[in-house]
């Protein structure tokens, strides 16, 4: 979490004299220091900008500095916006306009024209907002008193979304083999995602992984087994199967770390030379922040890594998920999500168990070890990135996860049960209408607003299905967006 910071750039001009500028600077420093205490990343005061040159210089530096994940601007006084054009036009980092005010109340007795000239964010921020609108800049606008907790929460959320942008732009994904044969939704234009989102999507042979597995030592496996035992209950006698998963995990992690990859995909159709599809191995890698997608789904893999990085403490409760089957009993309509093995334990309600079971799908010679658990209850979202041909569409649906209403003792995989918004069947209609995939990222700590912010910063289409969505309104929205994105 200490890796990134945000820069506080305050707008002003020379018109008000040195004393006002000194006051503005002192207050801006105080605000940055105080806000930093309430935010997940430091907000670093940079400059009280009064000229085109100062603004261009700070933007140039922000673009260049890897640790700068975005800029936050504010106009304590009036800052004529033509002098912001050159700087803003070259800005390559996420941008938030914090429309706030140093003082909370208007001081009844003390207010005079000096007070008015110092405290004029109400019109300074409008001038500042206009130029970003005129330049069609993707930006977040947050308005309110800077000491208000609600403002801290919204600025925190935006910062995490901005970190999601930085993470996306540096993302490398390791594909072990290709996508599952004939599947459409897991396909995508790799050149387009690299251009738009920064992702480097490349493939490595399963044979390379098998060779790497052969070089893992028994001592390395012993160390990882001790870690498994500290985190999970061992609920199988087949210790060899767990050790095999440890071998797979160590080899995959080594290959990813060597290449700087933070996400990976594989498919049960391409396991030549491996005894088990990685189950526990993939789950424990996800717990460490790596993204994963089954059946070669590299898009959902990278989205899992990004949502994890956007979540609490830089590795939140976000998991690769698949809509599996429905409970359609009236009054208890739920979707049951799982995967054949690989659900991230960050969404577990309790301590996961390591179990081994037969897996009929794929070329498994041995029963793969996997973590089995119930997902926790609570508000969440599911996220799907699809390639519409010529553009990417991000679909987000609000959901309410529940404690699974059935024990399902013979289900050999981790499971999460939820109700989609606005209700299960309408939600399904909307999701299918929008083209949402069966694979998603399910997240408890990233919000739809953050995903909207992320999509805006990445310049991709965003569709949100929430409690107020109707199939009719959605159909119209998709029609309009189809036109808009063809023109863009
Ligand atoms: Mn799947």
Distance (angstroms) between ligand 1 centre and the Cα of 268 equals: 10
What sections of 70-217 are H helices per DSSP? 85-89, 113-118, 121-134, 149-169, 190-197, 206-214
Distance (angstroms) between ligand 1 centre and the Cα of 323 equals: 9
pLDDT at 2: 57
Residue after which a domain boundary falls, among 121, 142, 169? 169
Rg (CA), the chain: 25
In three-state form (DSSP H/G/I as H, E/B as E, the rest C), the secondary structure along 291-337 is: EEEHHHCHHHHHHHHHHHHHCHHHCCCEEEEEEEEEEEECCEEEEEE
**pLDDT of residue 363 exceeding 90:** no
97 with 219, same domain? no
Separation in Å, CA 198 to CA 270, 302, 320: 27, 11, 21
**pLDDT of residue 360 exceeding 90:** no
Q: How many CA atoms lie within 13 A of 460 on its CB side?
A: 27
Confidence of residue 365 (pLDDT cuts 50, 70, 90): confident
Say which CATH number the domain at 124 has. 3.40.50.10940
Distance (angstroms) between ligand 1 centre and the Cα of 320 equals: 9
164 with 177, same domain? no
Distance (angstroms) between ligand 1 centre and the Cα of 266 equals: 11
Angle at 340 (CA atoms; ends 336, 345), nearest 5 degrees: 75
14 with 102, same domain? yes
Question: Cβ distance 59 to 112 under 8 Å?
Answer: no
Distance (angstroms) between ligand 1 centre and the Cα of 339 equals: 6
Read off the DSSP letter of residue 338: E
Distance (angstroms) between ligand 1 centre and the Cα of 248 equals: 20
Question: Who contacts 481 (Cβ-Cβ below 8 Å, separation ≥6)?
Answer: 461, 463
345 with 389, same domain? yes
Strand, coil or helix: 386? strand
Provide mean pLDDT across the span 108-135: 94
Average pLDDT in the chain: 97
Q: Name the residue range of residue 416's domain.
A: 172-487
Residue after which a domain boundary falls, among 134, 169, 204? 169
Strand, coil or helix: 167? helix
Question: 175 — phi, psi (to 5°)?
Answer: -95, 115
Question: Who contacts 272 (Cβ-Cβ below 8 Å, separation ≥6)?
Answer: 206, 207, 210, 363
Distance (angstroms) between ligand 1 centre and the Cα of 175 equals: 15
Distance (angstroms) between ligand 1 centre and the Cα of 57 equals: 48
Residue after which a domain boundary falls, among 138, 169, 200? 169
User: Residue 110, preceding bond cis, omega within 30 degrees?
Assistant: no
Distance (angstroms) between ligand 1 centre and the Cα of 340 equals: 7
pLDDT tens per residue, range 125-158? 999 999 999 999 999 999 999 999 999 999 999 9
CA distance 266 to 206: 9
Distance (angstroms) between ligand 1 centre and the Cα of 297 equals: 8
Distance (angstroms) between ligand 1 centre and the Cα of 186 equals: 10
Confidence of residue 294 (pLDDT cuts 50, 70, 90): very high
pLDDT tens per residue, range 326-339? 999 999 999 999 99
Distance (angstroms) between ligand 1 centre and the Cα of 342 equals: 9
DSSP string, 169-208: HT-EEEEES-PPTT-STT---HHHHHHHH--EEEEE-HHH
116 with 184, same domain? no
162 with 181, same domain? no
Residue 89 tokens read as 């036009």
297 with 336, same domain? yes
Distance (angstroms) between ligand 1 centre and the Cα of 322 equals: 6
**pLDDT of residue 458 exceeding 60:** yes
pLDDT at 106: 95
Domains held by the chain: number:
2
Distance (angstroms) between ligand 1 centre and the Cα of 410 equals: 20
Query: Could you give the percent of the chain with pLDDT greater than 70?
Result: 100
Distance (angstroms) between ligand 1 centre and the Cα of 299 equals: 12
pLDDT tens per residue, range 191-231? 999 999 999 999 999 999 999 999 999 999 999 999 999 99
271 with 348, same domain? yes
Angle at 301 (CA atoms; ends 312, 431), nearest 5 degrees: 90
294 with 313, same domain? yes
Question: Cβ distance 266 to 296 under 8 Å?
Answer: yes
Strand, coil or helix: 419? strand
Residue 341 tokens read as 């093995």
Provide mean pLDDT across the span 262-288: 96
116 with 208, same domain? no
Distance (angstroms) between ligand 1 centre and the Cα of 87 equals: 45
Confidence of residue 362 (pLDDT cuts 50, 70, 90): confident
211 with 159, same domain? no
201 with 134, same domain? no
pLDDT tens per residue, range 462-477? 999 999 999 999 999 9
Distance (angstroms) between ligand 1 centre and the Cα of 36 equals: 41
pTM of the model: 0.97
């Amino acid at each position: 979490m200490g890796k990134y910071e945000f820069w506080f750039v305050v707008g002003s001009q020379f018109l008000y004299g040195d004393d006002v500028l000194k006051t503005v600077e002192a207050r801006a420093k105080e605000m940055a220091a105080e806000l930093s205490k309430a935010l997940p990343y430091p907000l670093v005061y940079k400059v009280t900008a009064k000229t085109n040159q100062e603004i261009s210089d700070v933007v140039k530096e922000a673009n260049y500095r890897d640790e700068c994940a975005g800029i936050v601007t504010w106009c304590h006084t009036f800052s004529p916006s033509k002098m912001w054009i050159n700087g803003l036009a070259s800005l390559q980092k996420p941008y938030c306009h914090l429309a706030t005010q140093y003082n909370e109340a208007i001081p009844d007795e003390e207010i005079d024209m000096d007070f008015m000239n110092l405290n004029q964010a109400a019109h300074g921020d409008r001038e500042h907002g206009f130029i970003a609108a005129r330049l069609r800049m993707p930006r977040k606008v947050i308005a309110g008193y800077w000491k208000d907790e609600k403002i801290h929460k919204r600025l925190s959320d935006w910062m995490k979304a901005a970190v999601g942008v930085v993470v996306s732009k540096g993302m490398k994904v390791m594909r072990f083999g290709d996508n599952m044969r004939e599947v459409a939704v897991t396909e995508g234009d790799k050149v387009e995602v690299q251009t738009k989102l920064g992702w480097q999507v490349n493939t490595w042979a399963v044979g390379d992984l098998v060779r790497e597995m052969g070089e893992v030592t028994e001592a390395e496996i012993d160390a990882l087994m001790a870690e498994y035992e500290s985190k999970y209950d061992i609920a199988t006698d087949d210790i060899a199967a767990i050790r095999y998963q440890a071998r797979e995990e160590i080899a995959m992690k080594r290959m990813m770390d060597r290449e700087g990859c933070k996400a990976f995909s594989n498919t049960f159709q391409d396991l030549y030379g491996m005894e088990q599809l990685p189950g526990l191995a993939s789950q424990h890698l996800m717990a460490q922040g790596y993204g994963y997608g089954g059946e070669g789904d590299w898009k959902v893999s990278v989205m899992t890594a990004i949502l994890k990085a956007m979540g609490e403490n830089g590795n939140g409760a976000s998991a690769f998920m698949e809509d599996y089957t429905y409970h359609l009993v009236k009054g208890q309509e739920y979707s049951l999500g799982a995967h054949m093995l690989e659900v991230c334990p960050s969404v577990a309600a309790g301590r996961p168990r390591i179990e081994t079971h037969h897996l009929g799908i794929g070329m498994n010679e041995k029963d793969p070890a996997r973590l089995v658990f119930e997902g926790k209850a609570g508000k969440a979202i599911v996220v799907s990135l699809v390639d519409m041909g010529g553009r990417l569409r991000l679909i987000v649906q609000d959901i309410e996860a529940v404690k699974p209403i059935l024990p399902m003792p013979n289900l050999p995989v981790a499971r999460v049960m939820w109700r989609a918004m606005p209700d299960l069947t309408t939600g399904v209609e909307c999701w299918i209408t929008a083209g949402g995939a069966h694979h998603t990222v399910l997240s408890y700590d990233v919000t739809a607003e953050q995903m909207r912010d992320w999509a805006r910063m990445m310049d991709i289409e965003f569709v949100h299905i929430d409690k107020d969505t109707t199939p009719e309104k959605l159909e119209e929205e998709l029609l309009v967006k189809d036109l808009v994105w063809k023109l863009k």
